[in-house]
Structure formats: structure tokens, C-alpha cells
């Protein structure tokens, strides 16, 4: 399964909405590149410290590497899930 390509899901009216997650990294890959735990990334996203996007077709969370690195550059600490 390739979750990095276009996906679509019907909205309430039955029309198909297309989502494009190309160029974005799933949680595990983003965590690996940053050297942090996946729980840390999810915690940051839940707190609104970094943006994340959930693919409604499969529930996978994705991160834009540039936006996450920008948040780190602005002072987001590389801490554990609690902070």
C-alpha cells in the first residue's frame, strides 16, 4: 500500500474529496529523521506546537518536514512526550 499518493474519500454529499500527501512524511519516518519518539511528535501536534495532517481515508498522520524543522528552529525543544 502506498499511502503517500493521492487518496480520496466521499464527503457527506457523496462527492469525492481528493487529498494529496506527497512530499509529507508519516509519523514514524518524521520521528526517525528527527531522532525523537513517535509519541513525542504526536504530543507536539496535539499541543499545537507543530502542524500535522490526518489522511481521512486511512487515519495516518503526516508532517511537512519544512514546517516541523521551522518549529524546531524557532525553539521547540527536542523533549519527550510530556514536554
Is residue 5 in a domain?
no
Residuewise pLDDT in 10s, the chain (83 residues): 344 444 555 556 766 666 667 778 999 999 998 889 999 999 988 888 888 988 887 888 999 888 888 888 887 655 544 44
DSSP 74: T
User: Is 62 within 8 Å of 24 (Cβ atoms)?
Assistant: yes
Is residue 16 in a domain?
no
CATH number for the domain spanning 29: value is 1.10.1660.10
Structural domain total, the chain: 1
d(CA 2, CA 10): 19
Look at residue 30 in the predicted model and tell me its pLDDT: 93
Is residue 10 in a domain?
no
Is residue 30 in a domain?
yes
Q: Which three cell numbers stand for residue 35?
A: 531522532
d(CA 37, CA 61): 14
Is residue 38 in a domain?
yes
d(CA 35, CA 16): 37
Q: Quote the domain boundaries for residue 56.
A: 22-73
Amino acid at each position: 500500500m502506498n499511502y503517500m499518493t493521492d487518496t480520496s474519500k466521499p464527503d457527506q454529499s457523496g462527492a469525492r474529496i481528493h487529498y494529496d500527501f506527497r512530499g509529507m512524511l508519516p509519523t514514524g519516518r518524521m520521528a526517525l529523521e528527527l531522532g525523537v519518539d513517535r509519541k513525542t511528535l504526536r504530543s507536539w501536534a496535539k499541543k499545537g506546537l507543530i502542524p500535522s495532517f490526518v489522511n481521512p481515508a486511512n487515519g495516518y498522520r503526516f508532517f511537512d518536514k519544512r514546517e516541523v524543522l521551522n518549529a524546531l528552529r524557532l525553539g521547540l525543544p527536542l523533549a519527550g512526550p510530556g514536554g
